[in-house]
């Protein structure tokens, strides 16, 4: 339990219809009493109260307030929410009055969630799921974030961990037979080896699926390439304007302007406009372009754009013939050649349809992959390696060591062991008030 009580704006920046300020910690309930002056509201019920600055009784707002006495709360501590009129002066006035109270200070980014983790209300994989949920831009990302936040991965990791410990216990029991009943010992040994190999196979299937999970989280990349003036920028604009492009100001998701986000039937993707990959003197822009070049080189799909037909079909990717309004071609998406006009819009809908079908078959967003984070994938790779070493050896001590190592790796998923060094990085992804 922390001794500080933390306060922060939990909703988006004012002005807004409603702004929510959260308070968590030992002084949360007394702080509410200090601002409302009256009797404590009934727990877990919204109550209308006039809030006043305790220093001079200035009225600050008429607000809906709710108190959640700990420990059965989101943070595991006493928790208060103030639902205010979402004005700049209202929010700043209430925060100033709160932080003037003894033991109350502004929260750091992710501090409410960090307390939930510390107080055992949530494990580390669930925390990562919540961060993903707040950042989710597409339905597919939301689905996989909800599975993670709901504890799907933690439950799997825990069950693998206990299978490791069961095999370890059996192997230890088998040692007692070693002297006089060698055949029993070797049968137990064989059974353990079979179980280990099954575990390794399951883990490998999961690890193989991890690339899909990371693409679902980070988005597919589609590069638009071709000679100057064939209409690359026009095509990117047309494809992204023709439907709600996902452009959000969430910290950490802002992308370079030549990388334009696009929602393909619930799958996040970015279109990289290689016309924007120019040389520049500006150091920051140059860095953005360097990164975009790297991403473009590793693209999941390349759109080769030309403005004449017939044209040679390049290896890999799809061929898009632009400016059909100048020639005599009908829009079509026959096979892997697509005919469009990026200025008039002919054929754009069909091309989007084709891209969405491609994205959905690559990602299968309705089957949330279990491994969406590099941290999780690395722990599973570590566990799989330790278990296949354990299966390969006849030496009991080495096998036991491999099993313990794998159990430890699984324990890292939920943050039960060995995660001190990653906590700061994980919680820094959150905004203040979360
Ligand atoms: P980029 O250099 O490949 O990015 O090409 P731009 O998108 O800047 O386009 C180059 C020129 O071609 C611009 O003047 C566009 O208006 C024009 N353009 C692009 N697409 C079409 C099209 O489908 N039809 C016609 N007639 N002009 C186009």
Q: Where are the domains of the chain?
A: 5-121, 127-209+371-427, 217-363
Ligand 1 pocket check for 233: Cβ under 6 Å: yes
- Minimum mean pLDDT among 48-52, 78-82, 274-278, 357-361: which range? 274-278
Ligand 1 pocket check for 97: Cβ under 6 Å: no
The C-alpha atoms of residue 69 and residue 28 are separated, in whole angstroms, by 9
* Per-residue pLDDT tens over the stretch 23-54: 999 999 999 999 999 778 999 999 999 999 99
Q: Would you call 97 exposed, middle or buried from its count of C-beta atoms within 10 A (0-12, 13-18, 19+)?
A: buried
Tell me the CATH number for domain 5-121: 3.30.1360.120
The C-alpha atoms of residue 240 and residue 227 are separated, in whole angstroms, by 21
Tell me the CATH number for domain 127-209+371-427: 1.20.120.430
Question: Is residue 65 scored above 80 in pLDDT?
Answer: yes
Ligand 1 pocket check for 234: Cβ under 6 Å: yes
Query: DSSP string covering 3-55, please?
Result: SSEEEEE-SSPSSEEEEEEEEESTTHHHHHHHHH-SPPPPTTS-EEEEEE-TT
- Percent of residues, the chain, with pLDDT higher than 70: 91
Residue 371 tokens, joined: 């491994």
Sheet arrangement for strand 301-306: 259-264, 267-273, 220-225, 301-306, 318-321, 337-339
Closest CA to 125 of 152, 144, 143: 152
Closest CA to 419 of 378, 384, 381: 378
Ligand 1 pocket check for 114: Cβ under 6 Å: no
Atom of ligand 1 nearest to the CA of 237: 7
More confident call, 203 vs 211:
203
The C-alpha atoms of residue 229 and residue 237 are separated, in whole angstroms, by 14
Give 229 Cα–ligand 1 centroid separation in angstroms.
6
CATH assignment of 217-363, among 3.30.56.10, 3.40.190.10, 3.40.50.300, 1.10.760.10? 3.40.50.300
Query: Which of 223, 231, 236, when mutated, tests ligand 1's pocket best, judged by the most ligand atoms within 8 Å of its CB?
Result: 231
Is-contact 70 7, C-beta < 8 A?
Answer: no
**Adjacent-strand bridge partners of 22:** 8, 81
* Per-residue pLDDT tens over the stretch 293-323: 787 788 999 999 999 888 888 778 899 999 9
User: What is the pLDDT at residue 233?
Assistant: 86
The C-alpha atoms of residue 40 and residue 93 are separated, in whole angstroms, by 21
Classify the phi-psi angles of 120: left when phi > 0, otherwise alpha if psi is within -120 to 50, otherwise beta.
left
User: What is the pLDDT at residue 180?
Assistant: 61
Question: Is residue 263 scored above 70 in pLDDT?
Answer: yes
Query: DSSP string covering 116-152, please?
Result: HHHTTSS-HHHHHHHHHHHH--SHHHHHHHHHHHTTH
Atom of ligand 1 nearest to the CA of 340: 23
């Amino acid at each position: 339990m922390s001794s500080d009580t933390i306060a922060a704006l939990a909703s988006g920046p004012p002005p807004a219809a409603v702004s929510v300020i959260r308070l968590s910690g030992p002084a949360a309930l007394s702080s509410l009493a200090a601002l409302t002056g009256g009797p404590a509201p009934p727990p877990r019920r919204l109550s209308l109260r006039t809030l006043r600055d305790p220093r001079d009784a200035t009225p600050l707002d008429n607000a809906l307030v709710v108190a959640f006495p700990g420990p059965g709360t989101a943070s595991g501590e006493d928790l208060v929410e103030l639902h205010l009129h979402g004005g700049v002066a209202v929010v700043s006035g209430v925060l100033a009055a709160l932080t003037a109270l003894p033991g109350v200070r502004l929260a750091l980014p992710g501090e409410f969630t960090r307390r939930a983790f510390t107080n055992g209300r949530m494990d580390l994989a669930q925390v990562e799921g919540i961060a993903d949920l707040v950042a989710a831009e597409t339905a597919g990302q939301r689905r996989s974030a909800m599975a993670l936040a709901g504890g799907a991965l933690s439950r799997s990791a825990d069950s693998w961990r206990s299978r490791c410990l069961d095999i370890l216990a059996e192997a230890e029991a088998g040692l007692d037979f070693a002297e006089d009943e060698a055949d029993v010992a070797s049968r137990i040994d064989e059974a353990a080896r079979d179980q280990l190999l099954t575990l390794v196979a399951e883990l490998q299937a999961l690890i193989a699926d991890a690339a899909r999970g990371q693409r679902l989280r980070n988005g597919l990349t589609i590069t638009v390439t071709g000679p100057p003036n064939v209409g690359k920028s026009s095509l990117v604009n047309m494809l992204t304007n023709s439907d709600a492009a996902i452009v959000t100001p969430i910290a950490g998701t802002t992308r370079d302007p030549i990388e334009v986000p696009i929602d393909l039937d619930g799958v996040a993707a970015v279109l990289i406009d290689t016309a924007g990959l120019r040389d520049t003197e500006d150091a920051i822009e140059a860095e953005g372009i360097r990164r975009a070049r790297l991403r473009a080189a590793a693209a999941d799909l390349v759109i080769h754009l030309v403005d004449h037909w017939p044209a040679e079909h390049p290896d890999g990717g799809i061929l898009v013939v632009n400016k059909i309004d100048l020639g005599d071609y009908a829009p079509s998406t026959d096979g892997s050649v697509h005919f469009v006009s990026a200025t008039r819009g002919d054929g754009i809908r069909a091309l989007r349809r084709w891209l969405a079908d491609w994205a959905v078959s690559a990602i299968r967003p309705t089957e949330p992959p279990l491994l969406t984070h590099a941290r999780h994938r690395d722990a599973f790779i570590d566990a799989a390696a330790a278990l296949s070493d354990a299966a390969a050896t006849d030496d009991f001590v080495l096998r036991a060591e491999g099993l313990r190592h794998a159990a430890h790796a699984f324990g890292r998923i939920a943050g039960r062991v060995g995660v001190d060094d990653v906590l700061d990085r994980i919680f820094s992804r959150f905004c203040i008030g979360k």
